[in-house]
Amino acid sequence: MGLKEITDAAKAELIKNSEIRPKIIALKNGEATFMFLEFPDSEQKEIMRQVVVKKLKEMQPDEYFFISEAWVSREREDRIHRQPRRDIDRKEAIMIMEYHREMKDCKTSQVMFEKKRNQFVFEKQITDQLEYVGSPWDIWHESNIGARINEHDQKLFRKWAKEIKDELYGELVAAKTPEEHVTLLKKTIQRCQEKFKEQQKTILEDTDGERGGR
Q: pLDDT of 55-66, one tens digit each?
A: 999 999 999 999
pTM over 0.85: no
Q: What phi and psi values does residue 117 have, to the nearest 5 degrees?
A: 50, 45
Task: Return the domain boundaries, the chain.
Answer: 3-143, 148-200
Give the number of other Cβ atoms within 10 Å of residue 102's Cβ: 7
Q: Residue 213: pLDDT band by 50, 70, 90 thresholds?
A: very low
Q: How far apart are CA 207 and CA 191, in angstroms?
A: 29
What is the reported pLDDT for 212? 43
Mean pLDDT of 43-47: 88
pLDDT in tens, 98-151: 998 877 666 888 899 998 888 999 998 887 655 555 678 888 877 777 888 889
